[in-house]
Amino acid sequence: AQRVTQPEKLLSVFKGAPVELKCNYSYSGSPELFWYVQYSRQRLQLLLRHISRESIKGFTADLNKGETSFHLKKPFAQEEDSAMYYCALMANRDDKIIFGKGTRLHILP
């Protein structure tokens, strides 16, 4: 069964400290992984996808197939990073996206 697990509901980090949002997935094939972000009272928007290998707003994520993980990292947190972050998986046989339950990131001043 396809599953995305985000073990932390809430993560509080001081401004300037490193950030790591954890994501593990369960899928037997070759999935495509995404991170979506939702700022307060705004719509969800794509932050990054693993095939793009981009760094968006200082965030990066590396797909580790051995550990079935796709953790989101940023070396120095900024206050504007406070938001809800969702890890998501797209199976290679259809276009549905399975979302994790989300992690709320709170950047402390």
Binding site for other proteins (CB under 8 A): 6, 9, 32, 34, 42-46, 49, 86, 90, 95-102
Query: How far is residue 54 from each of residues 14, 23, 27, 34, 60, measured CA to CA in Å?
Result: 25, 18, 23, 12, 7
What torsion do the CA atoms of 61, 94, 66, 64 make, to the nearest 10 degrees? -10
CA dihedral (78, 75, 64, 87) in degrees, to 10, reads: 0
Query: Based on CB atoms, which residue is closest to other proteins, 80 or 93?
Result: 93
Least separation in angstroms between CB 35 and other proteins: 11
Closest to other proteins by CB, 49 or 74: 49
- For other proteins, which is the closer residue by CB, 15 or 101? 101
Give the nearest distance from C-beta 17 to other proteins in angstroms.
25
